[in-house]
Structure 1
Amino acid sequence: MKNILIIGATGQIGSELTMELRRRYGNDHVVAGYRNSKPSDALADSGPLERVDITNAQRLNEIVKRHGIDTIYNLAALLSAIAEDRPQAAWHIGINGLYNVLETARENGCAVFFPSSIGSFGPSTPRVNTPQETIQRPTTMYGVTKVTGELLSDYYHRRFGLDTRGVRYPGIISSVTLPGGGTTDYAVEIFYAAIKHKKFVCPLPRGAFLDMMYMPDALNCAIDLMEADPSKLIHRNAFNVSAMSFDPEILAAEIKRHMPDFEMTYNIDPKKQAIAASWPNNMDDSAARSEWGWKPEYNFKEMVSDMMEKVSAKLAIAYK
């Protein structure tokens, strides 16, 4: 990777991935592409910015040529809960936009990273230790776009030799950027509510186990995959990656260990409950571990401890 374009650079993953890539490759070599959300001062001041509408193929091609881009991280998508409210927009951005990225990459010789998700699975998928290769029949538009994106990326690799790579992300937990409409958002929101109010109303029920990952690991796995020896990659689009699995009750109990007076109650969101019930409890990520050395750095207890410290500092509210 020499010159990198991040599409969706102001999103939950993109905002931190852009800064990490700039730290590794140099500020001038990483272009932050955004559409509507205003970039943070840190993002704007540290390197080049471009307004990128993924559905505008001509504009995308112009930016890639102007900056001599050789690697594209395509993070543009509507997340699961929002995509159910706006399915047409979810398809337009998630698939028509991806097609534009792949065509632009084909014309300009770029590598492409496309993040899939646990949302690419469905109720008929084995929920425990979900295999790398298994049935994928999602029941949400978000999931449909992710499966389609996996297949389309694989097609461009087989048909045109395009260097496409991707992972199936679990829920992502971050202390820096708030999530934007995903089913696993509660696992971030709970920390802010705990530190601000010492209580949280959870939209998912007890027993709703979901795969999760701390943001530093999410950044590392994307970059490590794009840096991996291509001759060793069998699956490409997309690798299961996992770090931890828990339900709301387990997370609340661990937060309570740090904050004994924390309390959690439930007000179940039927839409999010239905989506969560169709996703895996935990994924088998042995293919990623064997093909490119994937290994998370944070376990569950380390993640909770770090989130409590960082969110507390961010809000300037002591919790101890």
Structure 2
Amino acid sequence: MKRIMITGALGQIGSELTVRLRQVYGTDAVLATDIRQNDSEAALGGPFRLLDVSDAAAFGETVKEFGADAVLHLAALLSATAEYKPLLAWNLNMGGVLNALEAARELRCQLFTPSSIAAFGTGAPTIATPQDTIQRPLTMYGINKVSGELLCDYYFHKYSVDTRGLRFPGLISHSAPPGGGTTDYAVEMYEEAVRTGRYTSYIDKGTFLDMMYMPDAIEAVIQLMEADASRLKHRNAFNVTAMSVDPETIAASIRAHLPNFELTYRIDPVRQAIAEGWPDAIDSTAAREEWNFRPVYDLDRMTEDMLVHLQAKAAPGQQVNFG
């Protein structure tokens, strides 16, 4: 990658990925795009353009004008929001992927599109879920992700588009706010642990899901995009994960620093049903073997780093002593 365009650059992943890519490839080599603009570092720290990814002509023109050789297509409606707005999710998520694929085909760009553990569903093994297994999701977001995986494979085999992707687990970040995902409870728990010392989870105890700390996710994107293509047997939708946790597990890790942290429950039936349709723990062997994926952060190391950063950002009077 030499000149990179990012869609959804102000979202949960994009806001941190944009900053990191500019550190690695140079400020002027990374174009951030989104449907809105804000005062974040991703928007103000380098080239930025407004872009509606559902506008195919504007999508292609933006890639061409910037001279991008790689497009990282992150713009999407996430899992919980997609269940409340399924038609919008289909139109945005699938329309955006198709426009990204067409731009990559016409302009001979690399294309990264993230998938998700939501792409599995009923019938897939829930423990050590393999790279290749049945995928029958019962959520609109999961259906979008499976369809996107298949489309990326189609464009690779039919048009030789260099498509690559990761099946992300829940991503935890101290920088970007939650964006409507089912696993956002984990981010909220850390934030409330520092802010109030208590949290009410909408996901039930014993509901294990894969998670990853955002720095590991960002480095995984860069590592995959720079990987030797001859090593990639799967190319798209690699399983990646760093830990499998439930709310109680995260709370126990937080209490190592904040012993008085309180966790209670008020279950959201929509997001709980989504979570119960996802794997407990996936197998990332293919990613490890084909491009040397290795996460750095386990749960306790992530917890310590999250609390340090959130404590530093806390308003006066809201800071909690820990250590």
Q: TM-score range by the shorter chain?
A: over 0.9
Q: Which moved more, 1:88-97 or 1:128-137?
A: 88-97
**Counterpart residue identity of residue 7, structure 1:** T
Cα displacement string for residues 9-37 of structure 1 (whole angstroms, at most 9, x for unaligned residues): 0000000000000000000000000102x
1:314, CA displacement in angstroms?
1.2
1:97, CA displacement in angstroms?
1.2
- Partner Cα distance (1:106, 1:31) in 2: 19
Q: Which residue of 1 aligns with 2:15?
A: 15
SS in 2 for 1:32: strand
- Partner Cα distance (1:277, 1:44) in 2: 36
1:315, CA displacement in angstroms?
1.3
**Counterpart residue identity of residue 247, structure 1:** D
SS in 2 for 1:178: coil
1:124, CA displacement in angstroms?
1.3
1:253, CA displacement in angstroms?
1.2
- Partner Cα distance (1:177, 1:41) in 2: 10
1:310, CA displacement in angstroms?
0.7
- Partner Cα distance (1:92, 1:44) in 2: 25
**Counterpart residue identity of residue 5, structure 2:** L
SS in 1 for 2:49: strand
**Counterpart residue identity of residue 24, structure 2:** R
Cα displacement string for residues 205-231 of structure 1 (whole angstroms, at most 9, x for unaligned residues): 110000000000000001100000001
Q: Which residue of 1 aligns with 2:321?
A: 319
- Asked if the contact 2:254–2:303 (Cα under 8 Å) also holds between the matched residues in 1, the reply is yes
- Partner Cα distance (1:39, 1:232) in 2: 39
SS in 1 for 2:273: helix
**Counterpart residue identity of residue 167, structure 2:** R
Q: Which residue of 1 aligns with 2:69?
A: 70
| Superposition map of 1:244-255 within 5 A | 244-255=243-254
Gaps of 5+ in 1: none
- Asked if the contact 2:195–2:320 (Cα under 8 Å) also holds between the matched residues in 1, the reply is no
SS in 2 for 1:172: strand
1:318, CA displacement in angstroms?
3.5
Q: Which residue of 2 aligns with 1:204?
A: 203
Query: In the alignment, is residue 33 of structure 1 matched against residue 33 of structure 2?
Result: yes
- Asked if the contact 1:131–1:284 (Cα under 8 Å) also holds between the matched residues in 2, the reply is yes
| Superposition map of 1:36-115 within 5 A | 36=36, 38-115=37-114
- Asked if the contact 1:123–1:277 (Cα under 8 Å) also holds between the matched residues in 2, the reply is no
- Partner Cα distance (1:79, 1:44) in 2: 21
Q: TM-score with structure 1 length normalisation?
A: 0.98
Q: Which residue of 2 aligns with 1:221?
A: 220
The number of aligned residues is 319
| Superposition map of 1:108-257 within 5 A | 108-257=107-256
1:61, CA displacement in angstroms?
1.1
What percentage of aligned pairs have identical amino acids? 52
- Partner Cα distance (1:164, 1:286) in 2: 20
Runs of 4+ in 1 over 3 A off after TM superposition: none
1:123, CA displacement in angstroms?
2.3
SS in 2 for 1:50: strand
| Superposition map of 1:245-284 within 5 A | 245-284=244-283
**Counterpart residue identity of residue 308, structure 2:** E
1:242, CA displacement in angstroms?
1.0
- Partner Cα distance (1:249, 1:150) in 2: 33
1:39, CA displacement in angstroms?
3.0
- Asked if the contact 2:253–2:299 (Cα under 8 Å) also holds between the matched residues in 1, the reply is no
- Partner Cα distance (1:297, 1:252) in 2: 21
**Counterpart residue identity of residue 204, structure 2:** P
What's the RMSD between the two structures over aligned residues? 0.9
**Counterpart residue identity of residue 21, structure 1:** L
- Partner Cα distance (2:40, 2:216) in 1: 24
Q: Which residue of 1 aligns with 2:2?
A: 2
SS in 1 for 2:122: coil
- Partner Cα distance (1:275, 1:44) in 2: 32
Q: TM-score with structure 2 length normalisation?
A: 0.97
Query: In the alignment, is residue 297 of structure 1 matched against residue 296 of structure 2?
Result: yes
**Counterpart residue identity of residue 33, structure 1:** T
- Asked if the contact 2:4–2:68 (Cα under 8 Å) also holds between the matched residues in 1, the reply is yes
- Partner Cα distance (1:209, 1:44) in 2: 35
SS in 1 for 2:128: coil
